[in-house]
Amino acid sequence: MNINRRNFLIGTGSAVGALMAVPYISHAQSKPIRLGMLLDTSGPFSAYGIPMEKASQLAVESINEGGGLLGREVEIVFRDTQSDMANYTTFANQMVRQGLDVFHGGILSASREAIRQTLRQREIPYFYNVLYEGGVCDGNTFVTGTTPAQQVEALIPHAMNAYGAKKLYVLAANYNYGQITAAWVKRYAEQNGATDVEVEFFDLSDGEFGPAAIAKIQESGSELVVSVLVGAAQLSFYSEWLGSGMHANPDVHLISTTFGVGNEHKVLPAVQSNGMLVANNWAPQIDSAENKAFLEAWTAKHGNTDDIHEIAVSQYQGILLWAHAVEQAGSVERSAITTVLESGASIVGPSGRVEMDPATHHCKLDIHVMEIQNQQMNIVKSFAQREPVDTQSVCNLTENPDSNVQYEITL
């Protein structure tokens, strides 16, 4: 098992080459590097948080087995926020007073915003490793998850062309991510010849998708239905979709920017998602040495790979990217690692190349359009190194390094 993990680290490129080159110094001779982390590992969002915690354990254990960083062991300082946004603020304030060198955590945008200013004030670099609505422009924050334009730019044109669709119906969660993603869906749909795009929003707690909701879609005459739904409560849509018979209609196709991110395709019966197209940065089927070694190491540590999802991989890669910056900088200090990251630092991880965009502190990422069949995601087409164009439209940290804004991107 140790050999497998070391081989994985070597395979991730310069990030890990640096790690392996560090001379060993007894961990007892220096204090550990403290990595703070808050995640929802109980409550409604635990399906996202538990695999993220597992990914963090695997990444840090791999780093420590390679000699640590700068000869120091990395120590995770973790608390479960129990899917309660108020706990993010309370726990973050407690943790920073105890001393942290870096922070990787938060799932929903609300959790990110509950802690971002505290970390900035304390000059603790913050890595937010989750797909989200885009627009955070903060010199202290680094994002390794996808943004809407990165996904939608690949998914919508591909699906419209594959199905010959001109009329779209968008069902979206009624908060920032859903609203902004729906706007990007409309933008790219219209750019690719859509004649009609209808959008309907649903509250995060809304778990009732009865016949009336399906009837609206039927009446619209839409050929392509785009789900931007989020959370366990909204899984009921897919069973209602199946029960209505729409799933079997050859003239109507279902695609999603969110389905599968929390392993929904493994939770629901296969028939509910068979044939659905999604667009993500990672899939188990990525045929690379780095992904194969990652899956092998995960199995060795956690027993099987059934619960890995995209944002767990983003969390893993975020930690490796930070580790690479520390080694290149020779320091854990914010200014030193920021200089490295703003040079366009990159690693090669399970999802492929993860490269920091200096102007936005977001990452260029590969995007894969995938079709779900029998609870598996099968890659249909890949798009290399998609830029975070949505955040690039509002953020330029190269020109304004002191920026500290969460822009609400409007189209």
Please tell me the least confidently modeled range out of 169-178, 205-214, 290-299.
205-214
SS3 state of residue 134? coil
Q: Is the pLDDT of residue 5 over 70?
A: no
Residue 380 to residues 159, 309, 353, 364, 390: CA-CA distances in angstroms? 11, 18, 19, 20, 24
Residue type, 277: L
**CA 360 to CA 324: how far, in whole Å?**
19
Which CATH superfamily includes the segment(s) 2-146+284-360+395-406?
Response regulator (3.40.50.2300)
pLDDT above 80 for 9: no
Q: What is the pLDDT of residue 233?
A: 66
pLDDT in tens, 12-44: 443 333 333 333 334 445 899 999 999 999 998
List where CATH 3.40.50.2300 sits in the chain. Answer: 2-146+284-360+395-406, 149-280
The pLDDT > 90 percentage for the chain reads 72
| Lowest-confidence pick of 52-61, 142-151, 203-212 | 203-212
Reference 409, options 360, 357, 343, 338; nearest CA is: 360
Provide mean pLDDT across the span 84-98: 96
CATH 3.40.50.2300 holds for 149-280: yes
Angstrom distance (rounded) from CA 10 to CA 236: 43
| pLDDT for residue 147 is more than 50 | yes
Of 154, 104, 148, nearest to 124 by C-alpha is 104
* pLDDT tens sequence across 374-390: 989 999 999 999 999 99
Average pLDDT over residues 43-61: 95
Tokens (6 digits) for 367: 């995007």
Residue type, 309: H
> Strand 404-406 vs strand 352-357: parallel, antiparallel, or unpaired?
unpaired
CA distances from 390 to 38, 362, 410 (A): 27, 10, 9
pLDDT value of position 349: 97
Position with higher pLDDT, 233 vs 22: 233
Query: What is the full DSSP assignment across 290-325?
Result: HHHHHHHHHHHHHS-STT--HHHHHHHHHHHHHHHH
pLDDT in tens, 283-333: 888 999 999 999 999 999 999 898 999 999 999 999 999 999 999 999 999
Give the predicted TM-score (pTM) of the model.
Answer: 0.87
Contact yes or no for 358/342 (Cβ under 8 A):
yes
